[in-house]
Amino acid sequence: MQTREELSARTAQYHASAIDWASDLEFFKVETVFFHRLLDDYFIRLSAPEYVQKLRIVERELLEMENDRYELDKLLLEHLNAIELTIMNAVSEKNEDLEVMHIRLGYLMTELMRKFRLTKKALFAVVEELLNDDMLF
């Protein structure tokens, strides 16, 4: 059986991780705005037939990523609230529930980061291709 101190230490670790994840999600929001501006700035030229399919894929991935981020943001907020209530002893400590949600959020964050990197690479590759083609003319 775990002591109260061990449970509190684990809850504090969950809180620190959740705060880090919230910061990552905030950064994703900022970068997503940049991605949209980049697409807007090059939209006319990216609408050329040779880029249309790539543009559709990137836009679909970006939308999916934003939806995932939005859902994760909501789950993370609920998790942070549960952690904070536990820390303040406003509710009895249900560390198993916190642990299950924390593990789930960890997997979801990892998957979002993976999608984020892939989408970013795809977007930059399309824009880079466009810029390289422009330099040829």
Please tell me the pTM assigned to this model: 0.82
Write out the two tokens for 4. Answer: 């109260």
The alpha-carbon radius of gyration of the chain (Å, integer) is 20
Q: Give the model confidence (pLDDT) of 43-85 as tens digits.
A: 888 888 888 898 899 999 999 999 999 999 999 999 999 998 8
pLDDT at 134 over 80: no
- The 3 state secondary structure assigned to 11-71 is HHHHHHHHHHHHHHHHHHHHHHHHHHHHHHHHHHHHCCHHHHHHHHHHHHHHHHHHHHHHH
